[in-house]
Amino acid sequence: MSAPPATTRRRRGAGKERPQPAGRFSSLTAMLLVGLAVVAARLVYVQVVKGPEYAEAASSQRTRDITISPERGFIYDREGEVLAESMEARTIYAVPDAIKDKPAAAAAIANAIGGDPARYEEKLFKDSGFVYVARKVDVAQAEALKELGIEGLGFLEDSRRVYPSNELACQVLGFVGVDDEGLSGLELYYEELLGGAPGRLIGERDNQGRPIPGGITLEEAAVDGEDIVLTIDRDIQYQTQVALDEAVERWGAKAGSVIVMDPRNGEILAMASYPEFNPNRFGEGDEAAYRNRAIVDTYEPGSTIKSLTAAAVIDAGLYGPESMFELPSTIKIGGRTIHESHDRPTVSWTLTDIVTQSSNVGAVKLGLALGEEDLYGYFSRFGLTEKTGVDFPGEVKGWLGTPDSWSPSSLATITFGQGVSVTPLQLARALGAIANGGNLVTPHFLKESSAPTDKAPRLVTERAISEETARQMRVVLTDVVNEGTGSAAAVPGYQVAGKTGTAQKARTDGKAGYAQGKYVASFSGFLPAEDPRVLIIVNIDEPSNSIYGGTVAAPTFSRIAAYCVDHLKIPPGSPVTGESQAPGQ
């Protein structure tokens, strides 16, 4: 029997799957596990490590965190006239990705609210989910833009600060920035009261920047600011600024300042500085115009300080208004020869004559009688070594070194206002002690507020000189106007008391001495002299057409004083009289 064909043979195990090697299965398993590990690691990185960042990015794309500005408190004058107010406005924002035709949108914005289309276009092309287009926009202009229905533009309710009288009391009031925060003046000093507290709104929006109904996640209402009432009298402030502006122009001066104050309580009725600026457009003003010169500028007061020197010797019991002095034409002290402003022969003058004729030599004689320690002590009592405590930011004080730092001639020069510096407000406070019966009061602007504040001034009263000394000095200072260098300060029907000043300006180039031809012309006085209600300090800085305080500053004092007594309905009062005998001479 023959064997079957080879093709029909079967091998053992034919018809069964051949098993795979174990190593290949292990490799596949390992690869799968590695892949899963990579995915898991990536998930951990995305969800744990980068999770907060991605969540924040997603949230920022769909939500908007917007600050809600409070309405800033109003500022009123003492009669309730508005000096600063907040008016309704709109803030315009954009979602750049939602605006299809950015150049056209920029042109439409500029046409509706004004401004440079190129600047708006630059904002619209920013890689951001939210940009401010314009802030504090007039409501009517914003509504006109809104009616155009430009996709991607949004509008928020806002307010803007407005100063109805423009330059009026500009340095006193100051101004606020785009975020409604006070940047200078009383707007800055009373920020805590005026500013209020901002609110906050977090809401979801679609890709066009439109609010999603019910998508508010946080809403905190803004707390509006409190109102304040100032001691400033709007009408007196206006007349003061007009008079100062005209004086600076008439005398070709560089700058100037005026203070009008009630010497009885320190209430500041007006405070003006030249040059001025408009706080509604403060960005256009010169930096020098922002300075409230009466509070932040110092100068050597010159002859106006002779009233304090005279008051000191009377209060110390050394002399009286009628005490006689033999005065040579010059006097030499500490190697320095002191001259008068005008040459004269040797004279016999009373203390009153020394003040009314503004004698430098006479003032030196008074200072020598006092001595260094007592002269320094009295000037300290008049507040010349400290700030006044006025409620205003950036107040400075003048300089009066202690006697151990004085040169051999300091005692002489300080008596007539050289080698000592003050601010105009320091001088007003000191002269106020003579006007009000001997008390040093605190000058201040705040009359009342709708909420209490720790920033309110401390209305401290300190005794500087005796009431009798103050009375006698008022008599002396009326003679300055009636018979002396201050005749141009007279006000018809009223007794005016005051003192002229023509002070050289110290050099500012780091060298000792005084600047050639540069002076501060001043007049400081009050009325009615018997019962003073108004005290006025006038400083004209670097006049060029004349330099003397009696010529340059006194007429401005008279003009402002005349308006004040009429506006405030102050009666003329009784003539200033009284005994003025020397206590010992």
- pLDDT (tens digit per residue) in 121-179: 999 999 887 899 998 899 999 999 999 999 999 998 888 999 999 999 999 999 999 88
Q: Are 417 and 306 in contact (CB under 8 A)?
A: yes
Banded pLDDT at 36 (limits 50, 70, 90):
confident
Q: Average pLDDT, stretch 190-205?
A: 82
Q: Which residues are catalytic?
A: 303
Q: Give pLDDT, residue 60.
A: 54
DSSP bridge partners of 272: 258
Per-residue DSSP letter, 507: P
Better-scored residue on pLDDT, 18 or 489: 489
Better-scored residue on pLDDT, 410 or 46: 410
Through-space distance between the first and last CA atoms of the chain, rounded to whole angstroms? 176
| 317-355 as b/e: b if 16+ CB within 10 A | ebbbbbbebebeeebebeeeebebbeeeeeeebbbbbbb
Q: Give pLDDT, residue 12.
A: 42
Per the structure block, which two tokens stand in for 143? 């509504």
Banded pLDDT at 415 (limits 50, 70, 90):
very high
Q: Give pLDDT, residue 511.
A: 85
Q: Give pLDDT, residue 211.
A: 54
Grouping H, G, I as helix, E, B as strand and the rest as coil, residue 322 is coil
Residue-wise pLDDT tens digits, 277-333? 999 999 898 889 999 999 999 999 999 999 999 999 999 999 999 999 999 999 999
Residue-wise pLDDT tens digits, 488-508? 999 999 999 999 999 999 888
Banded pLDDT at 62 (limits 50, 70, 90):
low
| Distance of alpha carbon 308 from alpha carbon 57, whole angstroms | 70
Q: Are 497 and 461 in contact (CB under 8 A)?
A: no
Residue-wise pLDDT tens digits, 531-551? 999 999 999 999 999 999 999
Grouping H, G, I as helix, E, B as strand and the rest as coil, residue 466 is coil
Q: Give pLDDT, residue 519.
A: 96
Return the H-helix or E-strand segment holding 85.
Answer: strand 82-94
Per the structure block, which two tokens stand in for 570? 């102050």
Q: Give pLDDT, residue 11.
A: 43
Task: Calculate the alpha carbon distances from 4 to 12, 15, 329, 467, 492 in Å.
Answer: 17, 20, 162, 153, 157
Residue-wise pLDDT tens digits, 328-386? 999 999 989 999 988 999 999 999 999 999 999 999 999 999 999 999 999 999 999 99
Q: What percentage of the chain carries pLDDT values higher than 90?
A: 72
Q: Where are the alpha helices (DSSP H) in 63-167?
A: 102-113, 117-124, 139-146
Q: Are 466 and 433 in contact (CB under 8 A)?
A: no
Flag whether pLDDT at 580 surpasses 50: no
Least confident piece of the model among 81-90, 462-471, 505-514: 505-514
| Distance of alpha carbon 457 from alpha carbon 118, whole angstroms | 49
Q: Which domains does the chain have, with CATH numbers?
A: 65-209+220-230 (3.90.1310.10), 234-567 (3.40.710.10)
Kindly report the pTM of this predicted structure: 0.83
Q: Give pLDDT, residue 212.
A: 56
Burial (0-12, 13-18, 19+ Cβ within 10 Å), 568: middle
* E strand spans, 262-353: 268-274, 324-327, 331-333, 336-338, 347-350
Q: Give pLDDT, residue 61.
A: 53
| Distance of alpha carbon 478 from alpha carbon 513, whole angstroms | 33
Q: Average pLDDT, stretch 574-585?
A: 47
Burial (0-12, 13-18, 19+ Cβ within 10 Å), 36: exposed
User: Mean of the per-residue pLDDT values for the chain?
Assistant: 89
Q: Give pLDDT, residue 515.
A: 92
Return the H-helix or E-strand segment holding 243.
Answer: helix 234-250
Burial (0-12, 13-18, 19+ Cβ within 10 Å), 538: buried
Q: Are 525 and 569 in contact (CB under 8 A)?
A: no
Q: Average pLDDT, stretch 69-94?
A: 94
Flag whether pLDDT at 213 surpasses 60: no
| Residue of 397, 532, 374, 545 whose CA lies nearest to 465 | 374
Flag whether pLDDT at 71 surpasses 60: yes
| 286-307 as b/e: b if 16+ CB within 10 A | eeebbbbbbbbbbbbbbbbbbb
Banded pLDDT at 581 (limits 50, 70, 90):
very low
Banded pLDDT at 35 (limits 50, 70, 90):
confident
Banded pLDDT at 447 (limits 50, 70, 90):
very high
Q: Are 529 and 474 in contact (CB under 8 A)?
A: yes
